[in-house]
Structure formats: C-alpha cells, structure tokens
Structure 1
C-alpha cells in the first residue's frame, strides 16, 4: 500500500470522536509503515511509565524480520514455529484477497535505549502499545 492509499483511512481514524490517538505520533507510525515516503532514520524518544525509550522507527514488517532473526539466535526451532504461524496468518489474509493489515495499536523501534532511573539498557528491537505512551519527542536525549 502506498502512502497516498493510507491517507484517507488514516484521516477517518483520526477524526473519529472516540479516538484518543495523538495525530502527530500516528502520522509518524504511518510514515514508518509506508516506505514510499522514506520515513527512515527517524529517531524518537517515548515516555512510558517513568522510563524513556529511544530508538529508530521501523515498520511492522521490518520489526517482524528482526524479531524472527532474534528468535533464531536463541532457538532455531522456535523461529521456525513463529515463521510458520505468521505464514498461516499471511495465507489466510491472501485467501481473503487482501493483505494482513498492520495492527495500528503498536509502535516498533530498533536500536533501542531504555532509560529508567540511573539504569540504561540497550535493546535490538522494541514493540510497544501506543496507548502506553504518555509523551514523546523527535530525537534522543543528550548524553550527560
């Protein structure tokens, strides 16, 4: 799906009175999902439950590939099972004549730094619910 194809559904979703989405964050999420607008290398810092999570926005597909690779690093059998399950979801979507839709409830990051109190941890990937984000900014905190 191109970005142009996503604009109208995105606007409808954002204009619904019951939606609690931040339109600016939703536009960034949509940009990461649609590679034709080149929303690459966008770094965000998210506030979640007193912690800061910083990383580069990626699409659901990119996160899925990275996730499967990480699973394989730990257990190749688990990776095969997960790939098989995702394949069934894709096949079921194709039989319905439309691709499996991206779940708009989640944001995906790679090259992540998680800061909580004085502790800092790095992670290869992160997937989190947008509803848990209490604040955000473009870029990352300066190192002190």
Structure 2
C-alpha cells in the first residue's frame, strides 16, 4: 500500500466511513501493518474472539503469506499453493493483482487460550469482524 492510499484510508477511518471495520483503532492497526514503509516487528496484540484469546505479533499480509508457505513445505499442498501463487504473481505483472483483503489481521508467534488450554501456532489469520475486543501486549504468564 502506497503512502497516499494509506493516508486516504486513515482519513476514511477517522471520518467514520461505513466501509471500514466498526473499531477504527483496530482498523488503523491493520492499516499500519499493511503499509510498506512501517515495520511493526514487535507490535504484540491480544485479541478476544469467540471462545478464545489470541495473542501474537502483528505482521503484514505478505509476511503472513511467506510464513504460511514455509509452514506448508512438508505437504503436497504446498506445491499446489505455490503454483497458484505463481499464477497470481504472473497476473500481477499484468496489473491484475487483487488488493489485500482488508478484513483480516495477520499474526506470527501466536498463543491461543481457550479455557484452560493453551496452544501455540507459528501464524494466524483471522477476520477483523470476529474480534470483539483487543489490547496491545501479551497477558502475563502467571
């Protein structure tokens, strides 16, 4: 996302544009992670979603895609996804690339807490619409 596009998106959020997520601060966080000039390397968030708390480091959709493909290296599905990604990349050269999906937040180094169970995941992609609450940082381990 270019700076001009990011600035326009921020103004839409601040103006209360109905096309954006209901929580303007979460939308601004997402926009910051997608902006190509911003490195949110250690921006950690905790998200409340139905039935769980999800904690992780915010990353861009492109960083999530690379991490996801790396996770699939041991599976046959990885070849199919790489082939599809190659076709998408070829289309991008022709100006046909779709804009990033604005309805998702991408995390790495994820901890999912559902009741008394704790799971760790290398990455997570979830819809903004599922987030009912959030805060910066990770909860204490105690």
| TM-score greater than 0.5 by the shorter chain | yes
Task: Note the 1:36-55 alignment, pairs <5 A.
Answer: 36-55=37-56
CA distance in 1, matches of 2:137, 2:128: 18
What runs of 5+ residues in structure 2 fail to find an aligned partner? none
CA distance in 2, matches of 1:46, 1:54: 6
What runs of 5+ residues in structure 1 fail to find an aligned partner? none
CA distance in 2, matches of 1:115, 1:49: 11
Tell me what 1:56 maps to: 57
Sort the Cα spacing of 1:94 and 1:13 in 2 relative to 1 into closer, same or farther, 3 A: farther
Tell me what 1:125 maps to: 123
Q: Matched residue pairs, number?
A: 141
Equivalent residue of 2:92, what SS?
helix
What stretches of structure 1 move > 6 A for 4+ residues in a row?
none
CA-atom RMSD, angstroms?
Answer: 1.9
Equivalent residue of 2:42, what SS?
coil
TM-score normalized by the length of structure 1? 0.87
TM-score normalized by the length of structure 2? 0.88
CA distance in 1, matches of 2:98, 2:47: 27
Given the alignment of the two structures, is residue 94 of structure 1 paired with residue 117 of structure 2, yes or no?
no
Structure with greater helix share of residues? 1
Tell me by how many angstroms 1:129 deviates. Answer: 0.6
Contact persistence 1:46–1:54 (CA under 8 A): yes
CA distance in 2, matches of 1:123, 1:90: 27
Tell me by how many angstroms 1:30 deviates. Answer: 1.2
Equivalent residue of 1:121, what SS?
strand
Task: Note the 1:27-38 alignment, pairs <5 A.
Answer: 27-38=28-39
